[in-house]
Amino acid sequence: MKNALSLAEAAAFLREHDNYLIFTHRRPDGDTIGSAAALCLTLRALGKNAFVEKNSQLTPRYSFLIENLYPQEGFHPAQKLLCDTASAKQLSPEGAAVFESDPTAFSLNIDHHVSNTGFARSTLCLPKAACGEVVFALAKELGTALTTDIARAIYVAAATDTGCFRFSNTTADTLAVAAEMAKFPIGQAELNYKLFLEQSAPRMALLQLLLKELRFYRNGEICTVTLTLSMLQESAATEDDAEGFAGLAREIAGVHCGILLREEPGGKVRVSVRSSEKLNASALCENFGGGGHVRAAGCGFVSSAPAEAEALLVKKAEELLSAK
């Protein structure tokens, strides 16, 4: 990757500069929000002026981590940072506007995606860790003392990226980081309930609709499900309610490739893929301009009906499974 930095080099950059604004990715999850919050608080602990850009797509689920970290009116950042953003296509609406105006605007991208395109001027990328773990390693490199707020943000980042430590990207280091964060009064039991167990009635209604639409291919090795705009309307589900279904199809026994297709306004389709060791999810999505991790990746289609996108994805998934 071009302009790749080591932990020491990234830490040196952050020490040298000031007036930071940190951006998160589109449809932000706990890893990008938690990482951005932890990075912002770490920089503030160093005496730096740092804020997190308000992402217009942020749902209430994670807003508590950054609602007190937004920039004051009139703030003009000298350095724009990114957390957990593999490509320019994944930028938030606010980040995309910045990038369109100046493709060199982002000075440092802190990430963990093996598919990172290196679109920022420099990148710190550790693919074997959640982005929250990368920020924790960076905080240690900077010599910043942890606080309860930093620990809570890192815990949320690591927990959400690993599905509450259930996914294959959970490593011994991930668990060690979580244990370190749990030494602080972060309320991890309450966090786990709020983030992974608590369900609204509209979300359960949406789940009921999704379960009726499961489709199987290749003797059950591939399973797809489409979340449509009409389902959202029928269930009265919010955007927050609709998040977290990416792994639904993969949870079924015998399924090695689970595909969630999300219909969006304007003829767009957003795709999330979850896979077993028999299929590289990132390799599948890269065929359609996306990418991500080996077991979890995504892509998108423009001017395409969900059924058309599904047919293309299933065909390529069948090819990849047959090649094993």
For the chain, domain boundaries? 7-196, 201-322
Rounded to whole angstroms, the Cα distance separating 280 from 115 reads 12
Q: What is the pLDDT of residue 206?
A: 98
Is 303 a residue whose pLDDT tops 90?
no
Which CA distances in Å does 194 have to 57, 153, 174, 178, 187? 19, 14, 20, 17, 11
Which CA distances in Å does 11 have to 39, 43, 88? 11, 10, 23
Is 205 a residue whose pLDDT tops 90?
yes
Q: Please report which helix (H) or strand (E) contains residue 239, including its range.
A: helix 239-242
Say which CATH topology domain 201-322 has.
Diaminopimelate Epimerase; Chain A, domain 1 (3.10.310)
CA gyration radius, the chain: 19
Q: What percent of the chain has pLDDT over 70?
A: 99
Confidence of residue 142 (pLDDT cuts 50, 70, 90): very high
Residue 14 one-letter amino acid? L
Q: What is the pTM of this model?
A: 0.86
Q: What is the pLDDT of residues 244-277, one digit of tens each?
A: 899 999 999 999 999 999 999 989 999 999 999 9
- The first and second tokens of residue 320, run together, are 């990849």
Partner residues linked to 259 by β-bridges: 224, 273
Q: What is the pLDDT of residues 146-193, one digit of tens each?
A: 999 999 999 999 999 998 998 888 999 999 999 999 999 999 999 999
The mean pLDDT value for 41-64 works out to 96
Q: What is the pLDDT of residue 23?
A: 98
CATH fourth-level superfamily of 7-196:
inorganic pyrophosphatase (n-terminal core) (3.90.1640.10)
Q: What is the pLDDT of residue 293?
A: 86
In the 8-state DSSP scheme, what is residue 16? H
**Alpha carbons within 13 A on the beta-carbon side of 88:** 15
Vertex 140: Cα angle to 124 and 125 (nearest 5): 15
- The first and second tokens of residue 178, run together, are 């979580």
Q: Count of CB atoms within 10 A of residue 220's CB?
A: 12
Q: What is the pLDDT of residue 1?
A: 65
**Do residues 250 and 221 touch, judged by C-beta distance below 8 A?**
no
